[in-house]
Amino acid sequence: MPSQEDSRLQQIIKCYEAQDYAAAIETGKTFTKEFPQNGSGWNLLALSYKASGNIPEALRIFKFLVKASPKSAMFQANLGNTYMLIGKINQGISCFKKALKQEPRMLNAIEALGLAYLEIDRNDNARKCFERVIQLDPKHERSLYFLRNMYLLEKEDSKAAQLLKKSSFGLSKSHYLECLLCLDRGEEFLNYYKDLSRKGVINPLIGGLVSHAEELYGAQIDNIFCNNSMDHIYVGCVGEEDGFSDKLANKLIKYHHSNKNDYRSQGLLHQGTQSSGNLFLLEEPFVKSLRLSIERQVEQYRLKFQDGNQGFLTRWPDRYELFGWMVSIKSGGNLDAHNHKEGWLSGSFYLSLPERSGEQANDGKIAFSCRGPRYPDGNKTFKKKVVDIKKRDICMFPSSLFHETIPFEGPEERVSFAFDVKPIN
């Protein structure tokens, strides 16, 4: 018969697994008071704080656990994962390496280290980590998925296609559709897309692929994510009266330049820096007001397009998070075309923009297209739409839509807060 301590611990586990994090926290707080020597109870409490978005409290407990049990690989790895959420990549890597010194075969720590390496463009190191996981567990779906995606990034499309076709993990089926487009296998692409549509598979990756295919093949294809995505670009304004003052905006810019969290390596970004982690999880003075302002704008977006009958609106995720990061670009810089396959609705809030007029009027603005930069274009000219933006404007659009910034020259810096409405599975 289990002891009272074990039974109480199981209650926390049950709440945590049911994603009732508030109950897990309350149960965990009581448990750790009664059984302060039980490391598993403290670990579950920290994981519950982390899952609920209370990162400072999660960090406090994980640091305490690591200090109390420096040889625990699990506590080190959990601390590393929490650092990664708020963009402290180097501290995360350090924790994962310490965990692996204690447990060299700890699959989750090896995989987490690989993901951390991807954040700083150390792709060879990342690949070795995923390959190591698969060596230890040939059926480890997550690392197989990440490795297949690396083949796509490195344009090994045929190799990626062979592996993705057999998998149902994550966006594997959608990435297989991407392989068919990259390989310009148009008829197979259209047939496979029809099959995915019948099954109700919907995400921004598919939306971007279909929009590109429509222009490439000159075919009218009903896009399960969003038809005529460039008609669903919205520009609003976040005024001081909306609760996000210039003072808070300056604090946000200052935070970005302070490099309190590590910058993410970003091959698409030239002459600029991009923050890592999710800025909405920080305990900083600008976060609460920024979140409320963005949430209000997202609701305005949904209200504006509520009658459009587009898939990304009619099938709006039941559970989602706001994921935000900073991008600053200096003279001569730009951000190349891309879309956000893990998002749903994407946006940028402009905190500083270069002033331009005349022939330079479009410099530093945002431009949209249905052209995926790594997909075949058949020597066709894809339509492009340049959107006028001003300081304190917010621009939102379906995450499937490819977007880029137009290069500019001059002393001013272009600073924006980018964000995704991101489904929680």
Q: How far is CA 134 from CA 123, 137, 283, 423, in A?
A: 17, 5, 37, 28
Q: State the pLDDT confidence band at 400, using cuts at 50, 70 and 90.
A: very high
Using the predicted structure, report yes or no on whether residue 208 has a pLDDT greater than 90. Answer: yes
Q: State the pLDDT confidence band at 102, using cuts at 50, 70 and 90.
A: very high
Q: State the pLDDT confidence band at 177, using cuts at 50, 70 and 90.
A: very high
Q: State the pLDDT confidence band at 360, using cuts at 50, 70 and 90.
A: confident
DSSP notation for 266-320: -TTEEEEEEB-S-GGGS--TTHHHHHHHHHHHHHHHHHHTTTS--HHHHT--SSE
Q: State the pLDDT confidence band at 169, using cuts at 50, 70 and 90.
A: very high
- Read off the pLDDT of residues 185-199 as tens digits, 9 standing for 90 and up: 999 999 999 999 999
Using the predicted structure, report yes or no on whether residue 334 has a pLDDT greater than 70. Answer: yes
Using the predicted structure, report yes or no on whether residue 378 has a pLDDT greater than 70. Answer: yes
Give every CB contact of residue 108 below 8 A, 6+ residues apart in sequence: 77
Q: How far is CA 363 from CA 277, 366, 407, 414, in A?
A: 28, 9, 6, 10
Q: State the pLDDT confidence band at 153, using cuts at 50, 70 and 90.
A: confident
Using the predicted structure, report yes or no on whether residue 259 has a pLDDT greater than 80. Answer: no
Range with the poorest average pLDDT among 161-170, 265-274, 364-373:
161-170
Whether 45 contacts 18, CB under 8 Å: no
Give me the phi and psi of 372, to 5 degrees please: -75, 125
Report residue 320 as tokens: 């989602």
CA distance 318 to 385: 31
Using the predicted structure, report yes or no on whether residue 172 has a pLDDT greater than 80. Answer: yes
At 368 the pLDDT is 98
At 1 the pLDDT is 56
End-to-end CA distance of the chain: 36
Q: State the pLDDT confidence band at 63, using cuts at 50, 70 and 90.
A: very high
pTM here?
Answer: 0.93
CA distance 110 to 93: 10
Using the predicted structure, report yes or no on whether residue 221 has a pLDDT greater than 90. Answer: yes
Using the predicted structure, report yes or no on whether residue 253 has a pLDDT greater than 80. Answer: yes
- Domains identified in the chain and CATH numbers: 4-148 (1.25.40.10), 230-423 (2.60.120.620)
Q: State the pLDDT confidence band at 266, using cuts at 50, 70 and 90.
A: confident
Whether 45 contacts 32, CB under 8 Å: yes
Average predicted confidence (pLDDT) for the chain: 94
> CA nearest 353: which of 323, 385, 324, 394?
394
Higher pLDDT, 143 or 308: 143
